[in-house]
Amino acid sequence: MRAATLPDGSRTDLLIDAGIIAELGSGLSRAGATVIDADGLQALPGLVDLHTHLREPGFEQSETVLSGSRAAAAGGFTAVHAMANTSPVADTAGVVEQVASLGDQHGYVTVRPIGAVSMGLAGERLSEIGAMAQSRAAVRVFSDDGKCVSDALLMRRALEYVTTFGGVVAQHAQEPRLTEGAQLNEGTLSSELGLAGWPAVAEEAIIARDVLLAQHVGARLHVCHLSTAGSVEVVRWAKARGIQVTAEVTPHHLLLDEQLAVGYDARFKVNPPLRREEDVLALRAALAEGVIDIVATDHAPHPVEAKECAWQEAAFGMVGLESALSVVQAAVVDTGQLGWGDIARVLSSKPAEIGRLAGYDAPFTVGAPAHLTLIDPAARRSFGVEHLHGKSVNSPYLGRELPGRVVATVHRGVATVLDGELRPQEEVAAHVAN
Amino acid sequence: MTQLRHLLSVRDLDRETAVSILDLAEDMADVATRAVPKLPTLRGRTVANLFFEDSTRTRLSFEAAAKRLGADVITVSARGSSVSKGESLKDTTQTMAAMGVDAVVLRHSASGAARVLADSGWIDAAVINAGDGTHEHPTQGLLDAYTMRKARHGERARGASLEGLRVTIVGDILHSRVARSNVWLLQTLGATVHLVGPETLLPQGVEGWPVTSGTDLDAALDEKPDVVMMLRVQSERMLAAYFPNEREYARQWGLDEVRLARLAPDTMVMHPGPMNRGLEISSAAADSARSLVLDQVTNGVSIRMAVLYLVLSGSGSSATTGAGLGA
């Protein structure tokens, strides 16, 4: 790889061999090597998503491990954490091992299963957390995402229990009684549209409770898809008190606001909902400041019929892997709030650290695993279905102009994307088999 | 004259358009007084009443309106049809499109359903929103405005707005599509609106609406409003802790005989129906000389004739302007 610009702004050649970065410097060459001209392109460490819905097993009409892995690679990701709300739920060692091994077999990205906190996501009894942690999938992140662990005692026990394995509970913060039937951020707009409101306090109250629980038992808490300015204040307060809490924001909550719901286009229906413009601005500032630690996609594929209907009948969620980097660039890089070095942190090293995923702590050093992505930040594209590579097309960005383009993605030294095109499935799988 | 592609929300109507619809409804009302109360101006056109949610009153009103204009009417009601078996809006309307309908009158429990249908491309017909969830009920808003204008201006109603009229709407604002359509349309027509109800049933963010609001009905009545519109209260709201029980609701927010007696003789008492007598409105109020409840029903047909005429005229082959339609 010739003349790539690293996140710190320096320029170098990279020689990748046997899955690792073998040499750094200028004028590197190796007989028989594939040469990628990276002149003018930005190199980033392989992106790590802490929040992906791959839908397999159980909802293969929406996404599979393979299709989701391809969508991830196309978006510059080399690792994804697969949420537990499959069918059967990922609440036993068997399910998480199956998902992890499918990921390994396809080879586009490292698939790290997330284990359910409660059996069947029912919020009643703990799932087989120990068995999942000790399985070949070595699960470290546990979440009932899609549902909130609303029972305070169960949440306390889960936080305590996962410390045994250095694990973390990733909470979908949504007080269920305050959000019954909720459709859209509660406020003037939801009242005008006649859509049941999803009040900010339903998120903030759970986060406030959970940071206190985490403090009480000395455990690690991760807050999924934080969406309100008030939540930022709660997390800021908790961090100032030394509580072990990390927080994520999605690309869509950094770019889109509730006004997009005006035409009842269900592509903009997501949980937590799009919030006010002032929330969007607060989230951007919190990411720049470090109160919010990471960006995670909450990639949530749904079949066409789940969105071709009235708003309140539609499913919650948007696909986001393929667009994530472009959206983040538009929201916080092009606005001058984060540099590419920050992006490397919030989309790679920090999510890997939270998920206890090895190999991402020292990118672009000799001997490090070769997980990287190469982007052209100067490109602009009208985002279309041709840029989506999963099974579903429920993207809120279709028809919108977005900056940046992934030119190449390398996972364990294997090119999964070259010249902006996904490499064929057989080729990637064959490399993995070797 | 005014033409409408669809009628989805009263917020799409400016004052001139709204007044012209009310004026056209005056003409339509005149038709009803003829020996043969029909105006075959929509002969050969087909109107589909698509009711995903039961509503006998609104459905009958649209049916009567379409028939008086000579249109053919297909009615699909939730009960006893494929709609009740979970058929989607898309499939039902595509079926309608395949049969060739010119207008769809849609009642749906989901807010925004009419807008989704109009934007979908599933059907080329005009879409009339006959109530979508807790969003809007535009023809109800229009018939209420018509009723107020008629009561205030009588034979000189044509061309008038509602400038200066003071309207108090009482009850479950949060869940009321009628309240929303009234708020926006009355504002467009120059009336001022005051909303009254328990704090739990006033929408979040109502301070951003072009209205005043409060929780004290007696204080609101002290202001001598020109119109008092009572909204229906649904008993399931009690289960969701919006208010303690029916007795307390009736005591605080019901239009009982004592409150009725305090109203000026020319205060208009309105209710979109169906009424819960004894809860939000007493029989004395509902049946009093001030009550315009039955006028609302009558006027509903005229308004719906006007709306059907406007969305269907000019959009096809056989619409012709009949005698007496000078608007």
Q: Is the pLDDT of residue A147 over 60?
A: yes
Interface test mutation site (partner B, options A180, A185, A193, A195, max chain B beta carbons within 10 A): A193
Q: Is the pLDDT of residue A133 over 70?
A: yes
Q: Is the pLDDT of residue A203 over 60?
A: yes
Reading the block at residue A78, the tokens are: 């080399």
| Alpha-carbon span A46 to A19, nearest angstrom | 13
Chain A residues with beta carbon closer than 8 angstroms to that of B180: 192, 194
Chain B residues with beta carbon closer than 8 angstroms to that of A313: 110
> Which residues of chain B fall below pLDDT 50?
316-327
Q: Flag if B132 and A194 touch (Cβ within 8 Å).
A: yes
Å between A11 CA and nearest CA of chain B:
50
pLDDT of residue B326: 39
Q: Flag if B135 and A194 touch (Cβ within 8 Å).
A: yes
Q: Which residues of A touch B (CB under 8 A)?
A: 183, 186-197, 199, 263-266, 305, 308-313
Q: Flag if B90 and A309 touch (Cβ within 8 Å).
A: yes
Asked if the C-beta of B304 comes within 8 angstroms of chain A's C-beta atoms, the answer is no
Interface test mutation site (partner A, options B107, B116, B127, max chain A beta carbons within 10 A): B116
pLDDT of residue B1: 59
Rg (CA), chain A: 20
Asked if the C-beta of B91 comes within 8 angstroms of chain A's C-beta atoms, the answer is no
| Residue-wise pLDDT tens digits, A218-239 | 999 999 999 999 999 999 999 9
Q: Label residues A85-121 b or e (16+ Cβ within 10 Å = b).
A: bbeebbbbbebbbbbbebbeebbbbbbbbbbbbbeeb
pLDDT of residue B40: 85
| Residue-wise pLDDT tens digits, A26-42 | 999 899 999 999 999 99
Question: Can you say how many angstroms the Cα of residue A275 is from the centroid of all Cα atoms in its chain?
Answer: 19
Q: What percent of chain A has pLDDT over 90?
A: 98
Q: Flag if B119 and A186 touch (Cβ within 8 Å).
A: no
Residues A306-317 have a mean pLDDT of 96
What lies within 8 Å, CB to CB, of B4 at 6+ separation is B17, B126, B307, B310, B311
Reading the block at residue A24, the tokens are: 């750094």
| Closest in B116, B174, B180 to A264, CB measured | B116
Say if residue B114 is exposed, middle or buried (CB neighbours under 10 Å; 0-12, 13-18, 19+).
buried
Token pair 């919650």 is found at A316
Q: What is the ipTM of this complex?
A: 0.91
Interface test mutation site (partner B, options A188, A192, A195, A312, max chain B beta carbons within 10 A): A192
DSSP state of B313: T
pLDDT of residue B33: 83
Chain A residues with beta carbon closer than 8 angstroms to that of B204: 186-188, 190-191, 197, 199
| Closest in B111, B120, B208 to A193, CB measured | B111
pLDDT of residue B79: 66
| Residue-wise pLDDT tens digits, A358-416 | 999 999 999 999 999 999 999 999 999 999 999 999 999 999 999 999 999 999 999 99
Q: Label residues B205-225 b or e (16+ Cβ within 10 Å = b).
A: ebeebebebebebeebbeeeb
Q: Among all residues of A, which ones are annotated catalytic? A: 298
DSSP state of B291: B
pTM exceeding the 0.90 threshold for the entire prediction: yes
